[in-house]
Chain A
Amino acid sequence: MVIKGKALILGDDINTDLIIPARFLTTTSPEELGKNLFADSVINFSQKIEKGDIIVAGKNFGCGSSREHAPLAIKGAGISCVVALSFARIFFRNAINIGLPIIESKDAKEIKEGDDLEIDLQEGKVKNLTQNKIYTIQPFPEFLEELINQGGLMNWIKNLLLRS
């Protein structure tokens, strides 16, 4: 899968309360949640983004609460992928489980606001078209690749149940 989009830069330790404040957690609809992505921290964030944009963040992205509404809101708002120096572990699991592409890369800090990125998940490469650079990304462990390839956790479980 090749993902193309414009980089939106965020900082370190972006927590799930910032991503989607708790008062919006009374729905499970990704589209509804997406309207309130970063509601309190970035003015008009959801209007600012274009479908396919890529969030590029610092360390520990998605720290804090376990709310799966955070990756759902990101997905629902039309973000195609999150690239970060590192991810908080529950956010990492949630993203994998719901099929939001995420990439851990130490090169994330080289990317600037508005850079055009082209990400090839199979090849493991991030092309920064604006800066004319290519960053290599580490492949996921085998088990996670299997989850991703089967379309997330529930599909994986469905297949597991079908086999047994």
Chain B
Amino acid sequence: MGLTITEKVLLSHTRDKEIYAGKFILADVDLALGNDITAPLAIKEFEKIGINKVFNRNKIALIPDHFTPAKDLASARQAKILANFAKKYRIIHYYEVGRMGIEHALLPELGLIKPGDLIIGADSHTCTYGALGAFATGVGSTDLAGVMAIGKVWLRVPESIKFIYYGKLNKWLTGKDIILYTIGDIGVDGALYKAMEFTGEVIRNLDMDGRFTICNMAIEAGGKSGIIEPDSFTLEYIREHQSTKVSVHQRDLKSDKDAKYTEIREYDVKNWKEPAVACPDLPSNIKPVSELKNIKIHQVVVGSCTNGRISDLRISAKILKGKKVHPEVRMIVIPATQNIYLQAVKEGLVEIFVKAGAVFSTPSCGPCLGGHLGILDKGERCISTTNRNFKGRMGHPESEVYLASPLVATASAIKGRIAHPEEVF
């Protein structure tokens, strides 16, 4: 019996001779990460067992990105715990405000993720790195503490579901729409405990930013991980961001033809005629955009680990150029990293946003989780390029979040209501 790409990556990180879905393994970790919410708890647990060194100071990343720049005293204290720990243990990949970015955009950009790697993150959107052919999964703080101590993590080898996308994608659709329609199809627990393997011609033709968006939201279907087999796009991305070469083993990493899947789901993407919007209060509550055109909005967020990359900002600016944000709408644009910020400055995107009446923020997870930089009051409604629209996620329990691509979010900012991008182009 052949192996899936996920099983191959996991097997190569154990001393085991065989691997199969359902098996419990103790796997070596290539990179473990935590942020200013999850790492303080991990550090507390780490220190509890009385050890005085980390397993490898080059394989731990600590990124204060959620409530930073510190939004209040309590968050400042949390961020300081990270800084102190990083200093004490001489952690190489600690990124202070001004050098940081949203972790899941930052680490690939820094060249820290390669095909075939095993990445553990105390953040549920760690699954993003599967876009580069890595096995990456979110865990809690105690798991991160364990990895910091011994460099290993316990995992149950997941079953895989294969998602194959055929056909030509409608010009207004993006990676975000692909993953939203998929979650809408299988539900928020449709891939519970499973690896989601994305493939087919549509994925092959999709740029890396679109692939990051897709793998990022695997967790929204309950998935343990999302993964895409590496190809020429992956290798080009790695070449751009890393000095080290990709080995033949990493380059040719693929699922075997006779690998076992619990399910294979095929989509003809031409059936998706319009961009998707996830309505409150679940990412699976999907409607085509034209059914929502009478929904008035008060806020728009373009950013996050899902859609805060340069191509997201480019398309948003392209739509917004020469137009204005609706007088009754706040538009908040958040580049995911400092590099993306700088690139947006160089390309003149920031000028477009500011002239249109939008805010251009420093990198932060901020409003996505109702942290800061755009909290909703009672009765307010936001259309956002982020990943979750749970009740009260962005602020007051009686506020609402709609999830969409940067195209739909930006068109809505101009119209003051949920809008199809073709209405403003």
Contacts and interface: CB of A to CB of B under 8 A. Distances in A.
B184 to A, nearest CB: 14
B74 A26 contact: yes
A157 B44 contact: no
Contacts of A153: 142-143, 145-146, 154
B391 A17 contact: yes
Contact of A68 (B142, B224, B397): B142
A120 interface: no
B412 to A, nearest CB: 23
A109 B40 CA distance: 37
A97 B48 contact: no
A158 B24 CA distance: 19
Contacts of A152: 142
Contacts, number: 139
Interface stretch (A2-10, A74-82, A87-95, A110-118): A87-95
A26 B392 contact: no
Interface string A42-78: 0000000000000000011001111111011000000
A11 to B, nearest CB: 12
Interface string A121-164: 00000000000000000000111100100001111011011000
A106 to B, nearest CB: 15
Interface string B360-376: 00000000011100000
A160 B150 contact: yes
Nearest to B46: A154
Contacts of A143: 24, 154
Given A40-B397, A69-B41, A158-B49, A63 B222 contact: yes
A13 interface: yes
Contacts of B149: 157, 161
Most chain B beta carbons < 10 A, residue from A23, A27, A141: A23
Contacts of B163: none
Nearest to A164: B150
Contacts of B74: 26-27
A40 B38 contact: no
Interface in B137-163: 138-143, 145-146, 149-150, 154, 156
Nearest to A22: B369
B200 to A, nearest CB: 26
A94 B45 CA distance: 13
A22 B369 CA distance: 6
A64 B224 CA distance: 12
A18 B141 CA distance: 19
A27 B141 CA distance: 13
Contact of B192 (A23, A71, A89, A155): A89
Contacts of A93: 139-140, 143
A98 B44 CA distance: 13
A93 B121 CA distance: 13
Contacts of A71: 140
Given A26-B74, A66-B138, A88-B192, A154 B38 contact: no
Interface of A: 13, 15, 17-18, 21-23, 25-28, 40-41, 59-60, 63-69, 71-72, 86, 88-90, 93-94, 97-98, 141-144, 147, 152-155, 157-158, 160-161
Query: 10 nearest interchain CB pairs?
Result: A26-B74, A94-B140, A68-B140, A40-B397, A60-B189, A97-B142, A143-B24, A66-B124, A22-B369, A68-B141
